[in-house]
Structure 1
Amino acid sequence: MTGRIDSVRAYVDNIFDHIEDADEKRDAYIHSYGVSHCCVLLAAKRGLNTELAAAIGLLHDVYRYKTGISALHSQNGAEMVRVAFKYIMMDVFSDDEQTIIKSAIYHHANKGYVHDEYDELLKDADILQRLALDNTYGWFYGMRLKSTMKELSLPLPNITVLPDGESAPQVFSKSLAADIAEALAGKNVTGEKSDTDFMKIIRYYPEDSIFEGLKNGWCAAFVYHCCLEAGLVLPIRVPHTAHKVANARFNGVGGWYDWGMDSGYCFFVKDGFTPERGDIVVYNDIIPKENKEENSKWHDHIGIVLSCDSESLIVAEGNVDNKNVSGILKRTCDDTIGCYIRIPQDYSYDGWKIDYKTGEIKTVDYMER
């Protein structure tokens, strides 16, 4: 392989070498390098670029192995690699090559749907690598494995394929989000590495610089954590495609505000809106100037509503007034209230339907290809 793959190896090896659990570290190396080899094999068979295929295989699960979080690891992995291409692996791949790699990572968990050729390459390689380890497969995994073995003129494996069945979507509960926020804020969590609750709040963000980056600025990360714990399914940045990248992740107030506005979830008191327990409040220039950066935008703080009346709110907040500690506060209902975000009780994340390259909906069923 080339020096470009050496750069990718150095990046992933650094992540894997810092995994504390020996079994998890071994799995990271075996699976990622194994998928990379399978990607190269299938790329050679399908007439695709084997170097790109090798990189895709090595990078596809870096988010899961770095954070220990499997949920949405494909979408979050593409976001993690986007940042790595910007700062760590600068100029290693062209813009078009980066898009191919990120698209494959973004879509690889959606085995039941068909995307572009490199996306499909990774999905098939991801399953093929597990052949020696698994003998029971979900429906689409099993169908893909059988198809890939036939493509390679190999005998069909003796496996069990489970019947096709859709899993029930995870349901978000804003009342539960309020319960979680109230309990967590009441613990007076401090933004220090020694505080295990704080480290759980920021664990979704994979960069090594995240602790310093969120120091005295983790109110939005607090809200994101509480909402995820209450069943919300949402990647760390929405949208994130080759077509459009959100200005901020959900560890920033701007990420919440922009997503709320784009989704139609933002509401304003001037329009007659009355907040409820579990709603998210976005503040308007509530942080004292001496406690925030110059030229900060108006939406400078965020929290989860616990109760309210006509004059005040009781709110659970992380990083109260940018002083690096959580708390439960009484806030006056005045012009420091910018807006509220109300996430619907039946909210379901459907970003996986968006094609990474075009930013448009694309849902081609694997069995109907």
Structure 2
Amino acid sequence: MIGFGKVRMVRTVVDGVLQEQEDEAIRRAGYIHLYGVAEMSALLAARRGLDAVTASVAGMLHDIYTCRTGLRLLHAPSGAEDARVILRDLGVFSQEEQQRIHSAILRHSDKERVDDPYDELLKDADVLQHYLHDPTQSFPPATARRIRNVTAELGLPAVEVRVSETKPTAQAGSISLRARLADVAEELARQPLVGDENQSGPDVWPLIRYFPGARRDQGWDWCASFVYHCAVQAGPILPIRYPGVSCRFAAVLAWLEWARLPEIGFFHPADEPGFAPERGDLIVYDRLVSSAEHDHIGVVLDRDDCTLVAAEGNVSNRSGVFRRDRFLQVNGFIRVEDSYRYSWP
């Protein structure tokens, strides 16, 4: 396919996402920013001797997650997963093109770090569009430096960039991360949430909307999505797919793989000597609702020596609070440390 035809195909997909966004302000900002960054990316690619199609597509897709969901937390890694699915399904991009675009989107929020050429190009195009759209706004120091550097590279007159003050990171309250997670899960589970015949509907849509492919009229088994939604509400904040994990957090397997990663180490087998589950731990079951391993997940609320109480989603398409055997059909537990913050790579 002729190169620019690929850009047109991506534009069509992006237009569809934006047209489905119900918030007019998000939709309008999406059109302005995505098309603007795509054009800036093509300009910088020509300047730097890089492929303009790859650069333009990265710019077109870099904030697709925010435009689809309205969410900005960890939108770069989550957007990289959205873009991966779009490029795969279009079927016209080479593996090299897909990898370059995925990498650029994954890293575009880290304006302080210096990465590969396409990563850097997208960061520069992103900040340049923001500046040109409103040069009166203030920018973090690293972003301001990029704006000055890229405008100089393009031979533009020296620009004055307002620099925002660096503010200390807000600290969480005294309540622990796991306690917050359990509180959110218990409140949602007790409502209860009820799915429609297609495992979506008004109650379930807010849980699954984070993930590509979710629709208001069509969902999936949503126990892991219930846990992910609770995590988004209470912490820990995670992207929709962790790099190196085989699937998204809409699947129980993703939670297991993530917790077992050497750099994470949060998984505890059910029979681990000396381990006692606590409120706010995640519990992974085997063959609880099907004949498959790791087929269900919930949030521990309470326990005694022989039983535990858990908040769970998608038990017969409903959420609820359930008392279960402490060991029967339990694969293990995931204990997320209070100090955990997503950071990759």
Common fold by TM > 0.5: yes
Q: Look up the match of 2:193.
A: 189
Q: Look up the match of 2:123.
A: 123
1:83-138 Cα deviation digits (max 9, x unpaired): 11222x11x11100111111111111111111111111111111111223142111
8 A Cα contact 1:279 1:305, kept in partner = yes
> How far apart in 1 are the matches of 2:76 and 2:229?
19
Q: Look up the match of 2:254.
A: 255
Counterparts in 2 of 1:274 and 1:297: CA distance versus 1, 3 Å: same
Secondary structure of the equivalent of 1:330?
strand
2:204 to 198, 203, 214: 198
Counterparts in 2 of 1:212 and 1:18: CA distance versus 1, 3 Å: closer
Partner AA of 1:186 in structure 2 = R
Point out where structure 1 has 5 or more consecutive residues left out of the alignment.
355-369
Counterparts in 2 of 1:97 and 1:269: CA distance versus 1, 3 Å: closer
Partner AA of 1:158 in structure 2 = E
Partner AA of 1:301 in structure 2 = H
Determine what percentage of the aligned residue pairs are the same residue: 40
Paired residues for 1:46-195 under 5 Å? 46-87=48-89, 89-90=90-91, 92-131=92-131, 132-135=133-136, 136-164=138-166, 167-168=169-170, 173-192=177-196, 195=201
8 A Cα contact 1:220 1:250, kept in partner = yes
Aligned pairs, number: 334
RMSD: 2.0
Q: Look up the match of 1:302.
A: 297
8 A Cα contact 2:202 2:216, kept in partner = no
Secondary structure of the equivalent of 2:296?
strand
Partner AA of 2:317 in structure 1 = N
Point out where structure 2 has 5 or more consecutive residues left out of the alignment.
none
Which segments of structure 1 move beyond 6 Å, counting only runs of 4 or more? Answer: 169-172
How far residue 207 of structure 1 moved from its aligned partner, in angstroms, is: 2.1
With normalisation by structure 2, the TM-score equals 0.91
> How far apart in 2 are the matches of 1:118 and 1:334?
50
1:265 aligns with 2:266: yes
8 A Cα contact 1:283 1:336, kept in partner = yes
1:220 aligns with 2:224: yes
Secondary structure of the equivalent of 1:113?
coil
- Higher relative CO (Cα under 8 Å, sequence separation at least 6) belongs to 1
How far residue 22 of structure 1 moved from its aligned partner, in angstroms, is: 2.5
Secondary structure of the equivalent of 1:148?
helix
> How far apart in 2 are the matches of 1:206 and 1:303?
22
> How far apart in 2 are the matches of 1:334 and 1:52?
51
How far residue 196 of structure 1 moved from its aligned partner, in angstroms, is: 3.7
How far residue 158 of structure 1 moved from its aligned partner, in angstroms, is: 2.7
Q: Look up the match of 1:363.
A: none
1:326 to 319, 326, 332: 319
Q: Look up the match of 2:285.
A: 283
